[in-house]
Amino acid sequence: MPHGLIVKALSGYYYVLPEDGENMMSVQCRARGIFKKRGESPLVGDRVLYGLTENGEGTVDEILPRTSELVRPQVANVELAVLVFAVQEPALNLQLLDKFLVHTESAGLETIICLTKQDLISVDEAVHPDTQQQSQVWSGSNSKSGSVVATETSSMSLIVQLYEKVGYQVVVTSAKMGIGIQPILERLSGRISVFAGQSGVGKSSLLNAMVPGLQLETNQISMKLGRGKHTTRHVELIRLQNGGLVADTPGFSQLDFAQVEEAEDLSSCFKEFRIYAAECKFRGCQHQHEPGCKVIEAKEQGEIAESRYDHYLHFLTEIKERKRRY
């Protein structure tokens, strides 16, 4: 029985791409009734066994074991998340970035950060950050919401430095100028990835730049609402020439995984905290104001960025409040 991969689900049909790779056409399949009885349903990203029927269609007969399962977008077997944030338009929100990173860490996905629209900032700004900008990024937020929104004057290169130091690959791109496309393509090769980011950050534009002839619809950000229109719809995997498959997620997509429920889980989703957290005086230290907390010490010594620590505290409060409500 042939192996294939579901690249699209629509109106009760599953579109299965044969795994032999020679035929680039997907086979339109129904799922066998047995799945419904078992309360299962095939997902985009599933590797399956399928059979062909007389009418040129097929049936999905068996779903092979999944390595991961995202809730939103609903895709199985995702290995890599590309977190897409614009350097401007919409303004770069580091709190949102850190939230996405918590989600990808808790789901055990590899993650790369892609900063888009590099052409919107001047070379001077990117290359010669002055000290005032430096303190803006590193001192974190002073707004009530706790969000750090990088202002136009803040420096992209400091943000790149911050996240590279944490341990993430950061790729600066401009779909408009064709910059930074290749390094992203290389990471996407031969696996299933998901692009996540706010509406209007340039996800579709990036994909268009990677896939000749793709032409996903792109939209101007609605100035009035300050957000983009929803231009993308059902989940579908886009095929790259290098064998990579990318989930083209709807606008405003939040990566939605099994929730991070415990404070300790949260702390471990901040990669750079881990080595310090292991040395905290108290087991189960939540790094708030406990004596002998090595995470706080590292923050005070500048080893952990203030913005990251502030966001950690913010999310910790969110998690505790959510627990109280149930």
Binding site for ligand GTP (CB under 6 A): 116-117, 119-120, 174-176, 197, 199-205, 218-221, 228, 230-232, 251
# of chain residues touching Zn ion (CB under 5 A): 5
Q: What do you get for the CA distance between the two ends of the chain, in Å? A: 47
Q: Is 285 annotated as a binding residue?
A: yes
| Contact of residue 119 among ligand GTP, Zn ion, none (CB under 5-8 Å per partner type) | ligand GTP
Residue 200 touches which member of Zn ion, ligand GTP, none, C-beta under 5-8 Å by kind: ligand GTP
On whether the CB atoms of residues 87 and 116 are closer than 8 A, the answer is yes
Ranges assigned E (strand) in the chain? 3-10, 13-18, 27-31, 47-52, 58-63, 80-86, 110-116, 169-172, 192-196, 221-222, 227-228, 237-239, 245-247
CB of 219 to ligand GTP, least distance (A): 5
Residues 200 and 251: their CA atoms lie apart, in Å, by: 8
Q: How long is the chain?
A: 326
Shortest separation between residue 163's beta carbon and ligand GTP, angstroms: 19
Q: Is 116 annotated as a binding residue?
A: yes
Q: How far is the CB of 199 from ligand GTP (least distance, A)?
A: 3
By CB under 5 A, the residues from 291 to 310 that bind Zn ion are 293, 295
Q: In this chain, which stretch among 140-148, 204-212, 245-253, 278-286 interacts with Zn ion, using CB under 5 A?
A: 278-286
96 neighbors 87 (Cβ within 8 angstroms): no
Task: State residue 190 phi and psi, 5-degree precision.
Answer: 70, 20
Determine whether the annotation assigns residue 128 to a binding site: no
Q: Which is nearer to ligand GTP, 14 or 195 (CB)?
A: 195
Query: Would you say 197 is a known binding-site residue?
Result: yes
Choosing among ligand GTP, Zn ion, none, which partner's interface includes residue 251 (Cβ < 5 to 8 Å by kind)?
A: ligand GTP
C-beta neighbour count of 92 within 10 angstroms: 23
CA dist 261 and 318 (Å) reads 10
| Sites of contact with Zn ion (CB under 5 A) | 280, 285, 287, 293, 295
